[in-house]
Amino acid sequence: MATINELRERIHAESSEEIVHEYLEKIAESKLNAFITVSGESALARARKIDSEGHEGPLAGIPIAIKDNISTKGIRTTCASKILTGYIPPYDAHVIERLKEAGAIIIGKANMDEFAMGTSTETSFYGATKNPWDIERVPGGSSGGSAAAVAGDDVPLALGSDTGGSVRCPASFCGVVGLKPTYGVISRYGLIAYANSLEQIGPFATSVRDVATLFDVIAGYDARDSTSVKRDVNYSSAMKNDVRGLKIGVPEEYFGEGTDEKVEKAVRDAIHKLEDLGASLKDVKMPHTKYALASYYIIAMSEASSNLARFDGMRYGLRVEDSDWHTTFSQVRAAGFGDEVKRRILLGTYALSAGYHDKYYLKALKVRTLIKQDFERAFKNVDVLITPTMPYPAFRLGEKIGDPLSLYLADVDTVPINLAGVPSISVPCGFSEGLPIGMQIIGKHFDEATILRTAYTFEENTDFHIKQPEGV
């Protein structure tokens, strides 16, 4: 596995074309089904162009995989759904514009749960992605293709999106680093919406430094996203091996029922490691955590039911010819959406309907405020919070897909962060029977610098991130 710096050296010594070619070969041989589309020809053409123009930009000539719900001009974008069959976006998402300016090369579109709804990458119309540590297991979701591709060394960098954990969950299951930034730091322009008030695009890499470099490239103000914020930060400058004086909060609510013993032990050991390195620990109370899942799923499904109304067979993708528009509309949606997407549209529509709106949707919004206040109170006394990312390591393919509720429960430690809009990062912190375990470091709004520094210090003083899966 190569870091950005190592790849830059190789690109200077050899060429970007050679590097891209190598990765394309790995993707062609991969057993992971991490990609929906491989844009090999355009990637090689761009690599040759960058080679001939000199290697300008922080990611010059370096390949990257993009989750398939992020719009890429001229490269088909499916959201892993049948309903977007044949759709080729006429424009780039803001993050793609930024990547191109930085010299990065889009090598393909990564597999995901359909419309980013899921925790296992099993709801994809293009088949499940497999976990590189054990191909009988899920890579996590919904950005499972992005995380598996990085962990399996099909690509050095990837982007995902995180509405309720979809960057951090697969980062944890695949043993890579994944960041969910503060809401508003990265433009959502060109990200095909699932639940707008919760989601952010986030970077994946095998090291904290590379995540910070990629984050520097894609973060920044964009007038086309009304929730985009103006802030100039240099995240790479947070790469300091120093946590002396750092105050870490450990919320017991995140180590509750259902948390695997080995996961709990690995995360507590990691916290003590940081204590040995000079941080201090504090118990914090986050009493509304137990309501987070219910609040999240009502809000996410309500927003989804409204966002997905645009897929009507008239404007994009799949078409069904019929006599009148409403038959066409219902037929195309019946044929084009998978079961999980339909379930969420139905539940979301129900929660928003007259008579139930106050009972469910407004109640969920009130709970969201209480959860946000839990974080505000906690951050008066501590600099970061540390919890498990996921309550257990990767489960088996097929193990939970028939039981949606048990899949929703897996998000117990990640969804509160999206409800509050704060940043958090998942970093490898141990193994259980050969499967990676992730630790989640949560920060104050706009304080990515502190969580990156904490993660970097942990990484510099441990070797969990060095182990690699074999034979994929």
Nearer to ligand GLN, 165 or 220 (CB): 165
Binding to ligand GLN (CB under 6 A): which residues in 20-49? none
67 is catalytic: yes
Q: Is 334 helix (H, G, I), strand (E, B) or coil?
A: helix
What distance in Å separates the CA atoms of residue 356 and residue 298, rounded to the nearest whole number?
Answer: 11
Binding to ligand GLN (CB under 6 A): which residues in 109-138? 116-119
Would you give the DSSP letter of residue 238? G
The nearest distance, CB 177 to ligand GLN, in angstroms, is 17
The nearest distance, CB 204 to ligand GLN, in angstroms, is 14
Binding to ligand GLN (CB under 6 A): which residues in 378-437? 411
Nearer to ligand GLN, 117 or 449 (CB): 117
Cα 205 to chain centroid distance, Å, stands at 11
Nearer to ligand GLN, 20 or 397 (CB): 397
Contact status, residue 286 vs residue 362, Cβ threshold 8 Å: no
Output the six-digit token pair for 217.
Answer: 């490239």
The residue of the chain with the least Cβ separation from ligand GLN equals 166
Site mask for ligand GLN (CB under 6 A), range 191-210, x = bound:
---x----------------
467 is catalytic: no
The window from 10-18, 161-169, 285-293, 324-332 that contacts ligand GLN (CB under 6 A) reads 161-169
The nearest distance, CB 143 to ligand GLN, in angstroms, is 7
Buried b (16+ CB within 10 A) or exposed e, 203-226: bbbbbbbbbbbbbbbbbbebeebe
Annotated active-site residue in 67, 82, 400, 444 = 67
Please count the residues of this chain forming the interface with ligand GLN, following the rule CB under 6 A. Answer: 13
The nearest distance, CB 341 to ligand GLN, in angstroms, is 11
Binding to ligand GLN (CB under 6 A): which residues in 163-192? 163-166
Asked if 68 interacts with ligand GLN (CB under 6 A), we say no
142 is catalytic: yes
Nearer to ligand GLN, 313 or 416 (CB): 416
Tokens 């044929």, located at residue: 335
Site mask for ligand GLN (CB under 6 A), range 274-313, x = bound:
--------------------------x-------------
Nearer to ligand GLN, 163 or 440 (CB): 163
Nearer to ligand GLN, 162 or 225 (CB): 162
Beta bridge partners of residue 343, listed in sequence order: none
Contact status, residue 126 vs residue 172, Cβ threshold 8 Å: no
The nearest distance, CB 253 to ligand GLN, in angstroms, is 19
Other CB atoms within 10 A of residue 266 CB: 23
- In degrees, rounded to 5, the angle at the alpha carbon of residue 96 between the alpha carbons of residues 118 and 415 is 30
The nearest distance, CB 194 to ligand GLN, in angstroms, is 6
Site mask for ligand GLN (CB under 6 A), range 226-255, x = bound:
------------------------------
Nearer to ligand GLN, 78 or 119 (CB): 119
The nearest distance, CB 412 to ligand GLN, in angstroms, is 11
Nearer to ligand GLN, 51 or 114 (CB): 114
Question: Can you tell me which of 15, 121, 142, 305 binds ligand GLN, judged by CB under 6 A?
Answer: 142
The nearest distance, CB 397 to ligand GLN, in angstroms, is 16
- In degrees, rounded to 5, the angle at the alpha carbon of residue 426 between the alpha carbons of residues 406 and 102 is 125
The nearest distance, CB 297 to ligand GLN, in angstroms, is 7
Annotated active-site residue in 15, 81, 120, 142 = 142
- In degrees, rounded to 5, the angle at the alpha carbon of residue 138 between the alpha carbons of residues 33 and 154 is 40
Other CB atoms within 10 A of residue 106 CB: 24
Annotated active-site residue in 30, 166, 187, 295 = 166
Nearer to ligand GLN, 165 or 391 (CB): 165
Contact footprint for ligand GLN (CB under 6 A): 116-119, 142, 162-166, 194, 300, 411
Which residues are identified as catalytic? Answer: 67, 142, 166
